[in-house]
Amino acid sequence: METIPPIQWFCPPECGFCCSLVGLDPEVFEKHKNKVQRKIVKRWTVNGKLYLATEDRYCLFLNPEGRCVIYEDRPKICRDFGITPGLECPFFDLKGVPIPEQEVEARLKWIEQQNKERMEKDGWFK
């Protein structure tokens, strides 16, 4: 059986763009609640996942240096972002080459639309 090597990609220091509101397993939050880096301003539970909004929209576990403080237990979406088709970084390609501005704008619009559709499907606007 052939082993496929993991994809490596470039992530600019202190970016954190992809580190925003994601659903957490309540057990993961309980395990790491002492590592929270930001003030939680709103809480939801949707389909068994805990959503914790912060004032600046970034993940509550993203430290000031732009690093995840629960990296070993980060959600699946965080593991998949950047290496899954449809979840590419909107700013850089896998080698760290900046994406042209026009394509960045298109990628950001697509991400916004996908988020809106997911939130509608999950019942956020009811």
Q: What share of the chain is helix, strand, coil (3-state, %, to 5)?
A: 30, 15, 55
Do the beta carbons of residue 54 and residue 39 sit within 8 Å?
yes
What pTM, to 2 d.p., does this model score? 0.69
In a domain, 8, yes or no: no
In a domain, 91, yes or no: yes
Structure tokens at 63: 């430290």
Shared domain for 90 and 51, answered yes or no, is no
Write out the residue range of the structural domain in which residue 123 sits: 82-126
In a domain, 64, yes or no: yes
In a domain, 58, yes or no: yes
- At 34-90, the pLDDT tens digits run 999 999 999 988 889 999 989 888 899 999 888 899 999 999 888 887 677 767 777
Domain count, the chain: 2
The secondary element (H helix, E strand) that includes residue 119 is helix 101-121
